[in-house]
Structure 1
Amino acid sequence: MTGKITIGKIILGAAALCVMIGSFVVVGYVKSLFKGPDYAELPSCYPFKSAAKEKQYREYYEDRMKEWPMPSETRIIVTSYGRTAVRLSGRESAPPLVLLPSGFASSLIWLPNIEGLAPFFRIYAVDNIYDVGLSVNSRPVTTGEDLTAWLDELLTELGLDDGVTLMGLSFGGWLTSRYALVRQGRLRSAVLAAPVATLFPLPGEWAWRGIVGALPPHRFFMTHFLINWMCPNLANAKDEYKKRLLDHWMNDALMAMKCFTFRMPITPTVLTDEELRSLQIPILFLVGENEVIYPAAQAVDRLKTVAPWIVTKIIPDAGHDLTIAQTELVNSTILTFLQGIGIDSRKGYNAVR
């Protein structure tokens, strides 16, 4: 009897030890995702999974860039945070408009809007230093403060010391609001297009749908758990052009998912009433009527209550996809707003400046 109990205890102890070791392995792997890479010994292919994946992505990216609707050039700008890819379009003498992409997207996200905006502005379409695209961070980027410091360095290196209009979509919209808080004097104006968080916390549904949407088979789960939810107008569009734009958008994301290593994303935050009131430059807030990250009407109501000088516009027949689902309306709203605050987009700044 004693022998049987002892053997049983040994078996149980061994099993417990195996479970413990397995748990340490799993926990260690999860912690490694949060910790990030060793920046002292980054592989030459970082942030890609391999040299082959880097080649594949760059070839895909360059092929997509052939769709840019007008002459442009790509510059690689070096800051203390790494190398940033910026695509320039439009007359050099035109007012500067800096475009920040949404999360898990590059400057390619602005392709539908360029034709309508570049004739009036000098466009600087940026690949976020800590996201997909051709930009490569060479040091940790873990907070919103890191991103605003990087963006400030980038504008300096581009020679954009003041008079800048900064426009961001989704995560880029949130970053635009954060930058305006700390470097308001450098900006002429700002456009926040469906900024994530910013006005209300991200819903829990955003998190679990994002996780499920990244599961294989990627296209199936991305379509059914993310796109159909975030972009109902595009998902149900009958227009072949809009269907093609949605396909391109998904292909961009799927290619990035295939080629890039995981980097722990920065969580966007909500601006306090005091922070919103401190924003004294002209600001345009755009939101689709079918937005899912917060109710469009409630977002507008908060701004009208706390910072009524911020211009707001609810875009009909659009959700988080507003810049693609309603490209012409979004572009015309931006142009009307900027011309109305003293920026003559045909000749540069007018006497109101």
Structure 2
Amino acid sequence: MKLSGFANEKARQRYHDTYDELLDWPLPCDDITVETSFGPTYVRRSGTGTGEPLVLLHGLASTSLVWQRFVADIGRDHVLYAVDSMGEAGRSVQTKPIPDEQANADWLGEVLEGLGHEKYHLVGISRGGWLALNQAIRSPERVARVTGLDPGGFVPSLNKGRLYLFIGLMTMLAPEFLRRRIKRDSKLAIFADPLLRRLVLAGLGFQMRFFILSYFSDDEVRRIAVPTRVVLGTKSPVEPVADVAARLARLTSHVEVVPADLHHGLGFLEPAFLREQVSASEQLLP
């Protein structure tokens, strides 16, 4: 299996220049490199709170930068670790194949161990939510709880997801006068978000070669034993809320499903809403 990486040095420099231009972290922060067997993983540490440390896991092709609108709010109560996921464009560098679900859990487990805390609250959006749930299923030793924001994995929708991403890329490539017509309550509005659009287009010179996500089987869902809050957007194309809620209620008592009148993506969340979801997750009993 080949490794993810930039096509050439020019593509890498173009992406990193864009990344640096978009970086506007509102809190004092430290750059951390956690050495793992899959390659060096970049983590941005910030926040001063004394609550459970939060590990922030971004969605596909968006990097840790998508959290910068939220960290001032949640950083009052927690130390935050925003990760650039391995295998994607960003500041982490893949040196070993990530061929399956277990490899993803092994990589993230090494990151959590390297950060030095005993337990973490994993907060993930979209694929980041899948990473958090996958960790709770396969390597839960350092997972205190999970907050998943419209995560994938509960219904077999890979082909539908690929179509959604293709339409999104076409939206990003559309002329500006067409993108301006996209209403904020449209499911395509996420692809008109300036930060996400610039990251994705700058990353077209990056080839992703890693296992992205999978559909969790009934047995895997039953293995979730940490307090977990799953927030599902009722306007999102990713997961049908009623079907997911019914399935989880049948399989586990450890997962709370929360419907929200939202589309897919962090761009539709207000910082106060995210803080409320994190706080509510911390009230869930083991």
Q: Name the TM-score, length of structure 2 as normaliser.
A: 0.88
CA distance in 1 between counterparts of 2:69 and 2:113 reads 28
Q: 1:254 aligns with which of 173, 195, 201?
A: 201
The letter for the 2-side match of 1:56 is R
- The one-letter amino acid of 2:2's match is G
In the alignment, what sits opposite 1:7? none
In structure 2, the partner of 1:349 is none
Could you say what secondary structure the match of 1:232 adopts?
Answer: coil
Alpha-carbon offset, residue 169 of structure 1: 1.1
Correspondence list, 1:130-145, <5 A: 130-145=87-102
When residues 266 and 330 of structure 1 are mapped into structure 2, their CA distance, relative to the original with a 3 A threshold, is: farther
Residue 83 of structure 1 pairs with residue 40 of structure 2 = yes
User: How many residues get paired?
Assistant: 283
Instruction: Measure, in 2, the Cα distance between the counterparts of 1:338 and 1:294.
Output: 20
More RCO (CA 8 Å, sep 6+): 2
Q: Is the Cα contact below 8 Å between 1:74 and 1:85 reproduced in 2?
A: yes
Q: Please name the residue that 2:68 is paired with.
A: 111
Q: Give the 3 Å change call, closer, same or farther, for CA 278–36 of structure 1 in structure 2.
A: closer
Cα separation, partners in 2 of 1:335 and 1:151, compared to 1, 3 Å: closer
Cα distance change, pair 182–191 in 1 and its aligned pair in 2 (3 A): same
Call closer, same or farther: CA 1:62–1:209 in 2, change over 3 Å: same
CA contact (8 A) 1:98 1:123 kept: yes
RMSD: 2.9
> 1:105-159: per-residue Cα shift (whole Å, max 9, x none)?
2101212221221111110000011111110011112212111111111111111
Mark the runs of 5 or more structure 2 residues left unpaired by the alignment.
Answer: none
Q: Distance in 1 between matches of 2:227 and 2:163?
A: 35
- Among 22, 25, 36, the residue aligned to 2:2: 36
Q: Partner residue of 1:333?
A: 276
Contact 2:57 2:128 (C-alpha < 8 Å) held by counterparts: yes
Deviates more, 1:290-299 or 1:126-135: 290-299
**Which residue matches 2:263?**
319
Residue in structure 2 matched with residue 40 of structure 1 by the alignment: none
Go from structure 1 to structure 2 and tell me whether the alpha carbon gap of 1:231 and 1:306 turns closer, same or farther (over 3 Å shift).
farther
Q: Secondary structure in 1 aligned to 2:128?
A: helix
Equivalent residue for 1:232, pick from 186, 190, 205: 186
C-alpha distance after superposition, 1:8-51 (max 9, x if no partner): xxxxxxxxxxxxxxxxxxxxxxxxxxx525xxxxxxxx822222
State the Cα deviation string for residues 314-351 of structure 1 (Å, max 9, x = none): 111x1112x32122353133233144247xxxxxxxxx
Spell out the pairing of 1:1-353 with structure 2 (5 A cutoff). 35-36=1-2, 47-65=5-23, 67-91=24-48, 93-160=50-117, 162-196=118-152, 198-202=153-157, 204-211=159-166, 213-214=168-169, 219-220=173-174, 232=186, 235=189, 246-257=193-204, 259-260=205-206, 262-316=207-261, 318-321=262-265, 323-328=266-271, 330-341=273-284
Deviation at residue 230 of structure 1 after TM alignment: 11
In 2: Cα distance, 1:81 partner to 1:224 partner: 41
TM-score (norm 1): 0.72
More helix by share: 1
Per-residue deviation, 1:76: 1.5
- CA–CA distance in structure 2, aligned partners of residues 230 and 206 of structure 1: 21
Q: Tell me, what secondary structure is at the counterpart of 1:204? A: helix
Aligned amino acid, residue 333 of structure 1: E
Q: Which is higher, the Rg of structure 1 or of structure 2?
A: 1
Distance 2:215 2:184 in 1: 20
Q: In 1, are the aligned partners of 2:49 and 2:77 still within 8 Å (CA)?
A: no
Identity %: 22
SS of equivalent residue, structure 1 residue 331: helix
User: Quick one: distance in 2 between partners of 1:86 and 1:184?
Assistant: 20
Structure 1 residues 224 and 146: CA distance shift in structure 2, 3 A: farther
